[in-house]
Structure 1
Amino acid sequence: MLNNDRLLVQILLLALLGACLWVMAPFVSALFWSAVLAFASWPLMRVLTRWLKGNATLAATLLTLVWMVLVAVPLVWLGFNIADYIREANALVHNIQVDGMPPPPDWLGQVPMIGGWLLDFWQRVGEQGSALFATARPYFGQVGNWLLVRSARIGSGMLELALSLVLVFFFYRDGPHLAAFVRNVLYRLIGERVDHYLELVAGTVQRVVNGVIGTAAAQALLAYIGFTIAGVPGALVLGMLTFACSFLMVPPLIWGPAVAWLFWQGDYGMAIFLGIWGMFVISGVDNVLKPYLISRGGNLPLVVVLLGIFGGVLAFGFMGLFLGPTLLAVAYSLLGDWVIKEVPGATVKGAAAVSSEKHNP
């Protein structure tokens, strides 16, 4: 009877846990990002709390307001600039429909292999602009629907971001209590090894944060410098867009069109400069800075972390930047512990320190 009662209690607890997860499911993404932001900026929280003589609530409030200003203001400003560019694009399309295409640039006919075809296409659009736009009008509707769907997703992403910035206050204020609660729960599950694995997870996340955000900031700064030297308008906006595209590891989406625009304007020297700058400096820094920042201060092989980042993004989306390497790091450490324990004389990089720590407490 006692065993039946215990089984019933366990079933009820599992049902309660499932119901709680169901309730929290819509907020998982916002909770995840607020937790990552709080963790990555926790040194700032400690310093600010010390300056405010231990007033954690006031420190959390001030730091949350700082993040809201740093994130919300640039996003609103970026939104207004994108709206201006959209209006200019609509005006350009309208002018082409009414007045036709402007004269083709001199270099267009000199493009190898396809220069003549490009000139013919340019003249045909200029002569039959209205007819071509009327033919393409049904496709504009499909493009509009696609943009509408993407806009809805961007809007939901903005709502999640706003919720994350609100939730980060509670992670700041109650961070030590939450950390103690998580540690106690994990202690019941895995015993004395809990501190090691918590340090492993924390170190992995911190290195990924440093590598991803540090590389994105460096690429944005270098892109801004390159755009400014080349005389590309909206250099600051393009630098911010480079920062965003760096998370997706596709900065050429920003500097590539800028190079094409410079060619369009006939500024070939600056176009070549920006192309070289983008290829070898903006995109090249990713191959140097990110591995250095990720591998700095860690015992895990760099390939484990990098595979975790790429595979995590493919499996979980943007959250996989942190989930992927964390899962692989924990699995790698668990396997290393098991091999060292079960196979005499075995050594596994990253687990050697664990083994010595186990045998020499």
Structure 2
Amino acid sequence: MPNNDRLLVQILLLALLGASIWVLAPFSSALFWAAVLAFASWPLMTLLTRWLGGRAALAAGLLTLGWMVLVAVPLVWLGFNLADHVRDALNLLKDLQVQGLPPPPEWMAGIPLVGERLVGLWRTIDQQGSAFFASLKPYMGQVGNWLLARSAQIGGGVLELALSLVLVFFFYRDGPRMAELVQSGLQRLIGERAEHYLELVAGTVQRVVNGVIGTAAAQAVLALIGFWIAGIPGALVLGILTFVFSLIPMGPPLVWIPATAWLVWQGDYGYAVFLGIWGMFIISGVDNVLKPYLISRGGNLPLVVVLLGVFGGILAFGFMGLFLGPTLLAVAFSLLNDWVADGGARAPVAKEPPPEV
């Protein structure tokens, strides 16, 4: 009978745990980002708490307020600048519809095999501009629906970001107690190796955060340099956009490709070629080199495992997989190494046969 009572209690506890996870599921992304943000900036929290004489709640409030200002102000400023650029783009489309295309560039005719066809297509679009825009009208509704759906996703992402900035206060304030709870639970599960794996996960997440933010900052600076050299208006805004889009896979081309197209439209073909090469090999190319290096630096994880963790995690879990993928592979790699080393240590040593008399 006592065994049945204990089994019933375990089932009830599992049901309670499942119900709790179900309740928290809608906030999983916000909780995840709040935890990552708090963990990545925890050294700053420790330093600020020491300066404030151990008042952790005050330090958590100041850091949370700092994150809100740091994130909200650039987003609002970026929104106003984007509105101006969208208005300029609409005016450009109206001028294009009324005045038509400029003469085709001379280099277009020199493209092997397809040069003459491209020039003919350019002139056809120029001569039949109104008919061309009229043919696009049936698709404008689909484009509008797509933009509306993307806007809804962006709005949901902004709400999750705002909720993350609120939740990060509690991760700052109660972080040590949460860490003790996790460590106690892992010690009951896996014993004395719990602290080792906690340090492994912590180090991997820290390197991933540094790699993502560091790579985004490097791409933003390189993009800003390229935009300044090419004479793109609003280079600073586009540099900030590059930083934001660098946080998602294949994001920077969404900034430098339209800028290159704008240079072509203005007839600055030399700067357009420069910016296209700069964007492809410098801005976008640094992501494939710098991010894996920063993530693998300071750890015992091979670079190929980091690459598989980054790209495989993104394919499996979306953007959160950028953090989950390398972390899961790091823990699995360490577990495998420990298992192999433990097996080697416990392997019986073969005794040498006694010498023959």
Asked whether the two chains share a fold, i.e. TM above 0.5, the reply is yes
Contact 1:105 1:264 (8 Å CA) reproduced: no
How far apart are residue 344 of structure 1 and its match? 4.5
1:247 match: secondary structure: coil
Contact 1:101 1:122 (8 Å CA) reproduced: no
Contact 2:104 2:122 (8 Å CA) reproduced: no
Cα distance in 1 for partners of 2:267, 2:96 equals: 20
Match of 1:243 in 2: 243
Match of 2:290 in 1: 289
Match of 1:139 in 2: 139
Match of 1:334 in 2: 335
1:124 match: secondary structure: helix
Matches within 5 A, 1:224-239: 224-239=224-239
Match of 1:263 in 2: 264
Contact 1:104 1:119 (8 Å CA) reproduced: no
Cα distance in 2 for partners of 1:72, 1:246 equals: 18
CA 1:175 to 1:118, structure 2 compared with 1: closer, same or farther past 3 Å? same
CA RMSD, 1 decimal: 2.0
Q: Deviations over 1:285-342 (max 9, x none)?
A: 3344323322221112122222111111111111001111111111111122112112
Cα distance in 2 for partners of 1:20, 1:320 equals: 23
Cα distance in 1 for partners of 2:186, 2:63 equals: 29
Gaps of 5+ in 2: 348-357
Contact 1:230 1:274 (8 Å CA) reproduced: yes
Match of 1:8 in 2: 8
Cα distance in 1 for partners of 2:166, 2:178 equals: 17
Gaps of 5+ in 1: 347-361
Match of 2:221 in 1: 221
Matches within 5 A, 1:1-361: 1-97=1-97, 99-107=98-106, 109-112=108-111, 113-250=113-250, 251-344=252-345
Q: Deviations over 1:211-240 (max 9, x none)?
A: 111111111111111211221111112112
Moved more, 257-266 or 321-330: 257-266
Moved more, 262-271 or 21-30: 262-271
Cα distance in 2 for partners of 1:238, 1:270 equals: 16
Give the percent of matched residue pairs that are identical in Structure 1 and Structure 2: 73
CA 1:130 to 1:262, structure 2 compared with 1: closer, same or farther past 3 Å? closer
Match of 2:353 in 1: none
Cα distance in 2 for partners of 1:43, 1:277 equals: 36
Contact 1:96 1:126 (8 Å CA) reproduced: no
Contact 1:300 1:329 (8 Å CA) reproduced: yes
Q: Look up the equivalent residue of 2:103 and give its one-letter code.
A: P
How far apart are residue 181 of structure 1 and its match? 1.4
2:233 match: secondary structure: coil
Cα distance in 1 for partners of 2:32, 2:149 equals: 24
